[in-house]
Amino acid sequence: MKAKHSTTHKKREVTSIKVDPELWKKAKIEAINREIDLSELVEDALRKEIKGGGGGSVTK
């Protein structure tokens, strides 16, 4: 069984973003599979992207 991450004590900013619906659906499924909440999945992805120096496609 995968370990659950504790995020109950982290302060979080509430925000709105536009995301491709199919990508969002896949993200929800991935969070369920990892037994983490969707916010944590998004935070982890953002941290990896920022730490890694990017490289993904950014549309301006």
Find the mean pLDDT for residues 42-52.
95
Query: What pLDDT band is residue 4 in, cutting at 50, 70 and 90?
Result: low
Which residue has tokens 């950014």? 58
Which residue has tokens 């504790």? 6
Residue 52: the pLDDT is 84
DSSP character string of 11-34: ----------HHHHHHHHHHHHHH
Residue 17: the pLDDT is 96
Residue 38: the pLDDT is 97
Q: What is the pLDDT of residues 10-46, one digit of tens each?
A: 788 999 999 999 999 999 999 999 999 999 999 999 9
Residue 53: the pLDDT is 74
